[in-house]
Amino acid sequence: MKITKLAKGISLKRPLEGGNEEQLNVVRQVLSEVKKQGDAALRFYTEKWDGYAPESLRVTEKEIAEAVNALDQQLYSDLAEAAENIRLYHEQQIRTGYHMELGDGSWLGQRVTALDAVGLYVPGGTAAYPSSVLMNVIPAQVAGVQRIVITSPANQSGKLPAGVLVAAHLLGINEIYKVGGAQAIAALAYGTETIAPVDKITGPGNIFVALAKREVFGEVAIDMIAGPSEIAVLADDTAYADEIAADLLSQAEHDVLACAILVTTSEQLAKKVAEEVDKQLKTLPRQEVARASIEKFGAIYVADTLADAVEAINTLAPEHLEILTENAEVIAEQVRHAGGIFIGRYSSEPVGDYFAGTNHVLPTNSTARFASGLSVDDFVKKSSIVYYSGKTWEENAPKIARLARMEGLEGHARAVESRGWEKE
């Protein structure tokens, strides 16, 4: 990895991955076809791109049962324990709205209600993601969403990864479709004969999925436009180089576009980490992916002071941030922008990917400046409530009418003034 002196005031902000015009045109075509042709278009694109012709778009109970029976009991129990941890963390996020008495019988309120239906996209490709099922489904369940749908591309034999089916089964989800790509997003947004539309779509995917989510945004809600995974490690000379290298590689192995960055005050640590990365890469099964990522997007910055290092981290607003310094908890308070913060050497980032209970769906591409990880908040909406009594109306109607007239909206003023005791 390249070691660079951290320039003061440098911005490490990551550019947004927008996709190109050609990809966007493909996505728009797919969305439009699925909207018009429904299931027929889903079947067409699934055969064309995923290489199989599904008998049934929906996963059968038999397939789920087979997956459950085939899975190692220990793994099932690990998944169940992870699910329980995730549930406990997310239960802290439940909100109930509020009620404010204004006097004279008047009140204002906020009501929080769950979305009716949500769809979770689980990516296919080179890895299986049962953990994504847990991370997306559990917050929706905690929020009280009644209908939760999963869609994911099957492999060429028409199978979904057993782990995905088992994770869904564990959570009581059985509406699962073997559809991937932009066509899956279209089905969730517009509905087809087989798949009823949902109100919100969550879950990561490739560039086609990301572009499709962006296109249907507004028609339905979406979680975020997820970019490639990122890790930043902030370390001083108390940290262990081999641990940092392992953590950097754990993100780099996700994707050739993933980004792994170390910012440290120790030049010696910087050198050791670079060496360790090279060494550990040699035996990593996904070394091709990880090496490409490290070469293109990996970086080590040496900062003069810890304060400079923290400021650089704030410009990066990383998806994941590990703090491996003395007084790491104090340093964590100085970080303003990061999706997930991992404090101390025993909080290796994969601890949060799978097990601790926090959500692993986190904002990428420096969007942690304004965005948050997936949470129960993503699966509820709020309504405001106004109840004015006659007395409160009488006292305030003249003020409201004046404000309306200042804006040139006479109809608003008249609406408020149209009330009166005399009619009662």
Which residues are documented as binding site? 121, 183, 206, 229, 251, 254, 320, 353, 407, 412
Tell whether residue 247 is a contact of a second copy (CB under 8 A).
yes
Tell whether residue 202 is a contact of a second copy (CB under 8 A).
no
**Per CB under 8 A, which of residues 173..192 are in contact with a second copy?**
none
Q: How many chain residues interact with a second copy (CB under 8 A)?
A: 122
Stretch that binds a second copy, among 41-49, 148-156, 244-252, 299-307 (CB under 8 A): 244-252
Told to judge if 333 belongs to the known catalytic residues of this protein, a careful annotator would answer: no
Candidate residues 127, 279, 288, 296; the one interacting with a second copy per rule CB under 8 A: 127
Tell whether residue 372 is a contact of a second copy (CB under 8 A).
yes
The single residue of 63, 319, 322, 349 carrying the catalytic annotation is 319
Stretch that binds a second copy, among 21-29, 58-66, 172-180, 332-340 (CB under 8 A): 332-340
Q: Residue 139, class by beta-carbon neighbours within 10 Å (0-12 exposed, 13-18 middle, 19+ buried)?
A: buried
**Per CB under 8 A, which of residues 214..233 are in contact with a second copy?**
214, 217-221, 225
Q: Which is nearer to a second copy, 157 or 384 (CB)?
A: 384
Please report where in the chains the tokens 């012709």 appear, as a residue: 53
Residue 178: DSSP 8-state: -
Number of residues assigned to the chain: 424
Q: At residue 356, what is the residue type? A: A
Candidate residues 123, 130, 204, 205; the one interacting with a second copy per rule CB under 8 A: 130
Binding residues for NAD(+): 121, 183, 206
For 114, other C-beta atoms within 10 Å of its C-beta total 18
Report the Cα–Cα distance between both ends of the chain, in Å, rounded.
80
3-state helix, strand, coil in the chain (%, to 5): 45, 15, 35
**Per CB under 8 A, which of residues 389..408 are in contact with a second copy?**
389-390, 392-393, 396, 399-400, 402-404, 406-408
**Per CB under 8 A, which of residues 91..120 are in contact with a second copy?**
92-93, 98, 100, 108, 110-111, 113, 115-116
Stretch that binds a second copy, among 3-11, 22-30, 37-45, 371-379 (CB under 8 A): 371-379
What tokens were used for 11? Answer: 């911005």
What tokens were used for 340? Answer: 């997930």
Residue 422: DSSP 8-state: G
Q: Residue 2, class by beta-carbon neighbours within 10 Å (0-12 exposed, 13-18 middle, 19+ buried)?
A: exposed
Q: Which is nearer to a second copy, 2 or 414 (CB)?
A: 414
Tell whether residue 388 is a contact of a second copy (CB under 8 A).
yes
Tell whether residue 325 is a contact of a second copy (CB under 8 A).
no
Told to judge if 276 belongs to the known catalytic residues of this protein, a careful annotator would answer: no
**Per CB under 8 A, which of residues 65..94 are in contact with a second copy?**
74-75, 78-79, 81-82, 88-89, 92-93
The single residue of 320, 322, 349, 360 carrying the catalytic annotation is 320
Residue 58: DSSP 8-state: B
Q: Distance between CA atoms of 137 and 118, rounded to whole angstroms?
A: 9
For 206, other C-beta atoms within 10 Å of its C-beta total 18
Is there a contact between 195 and 187 (Cβ–Cβ < 8 Å)? yes
If we measure between CA atoms, which residue out of 339, 364, 342, 345 comes closest to residue 355? 342
Residues acting as catalytic residues: 319-320
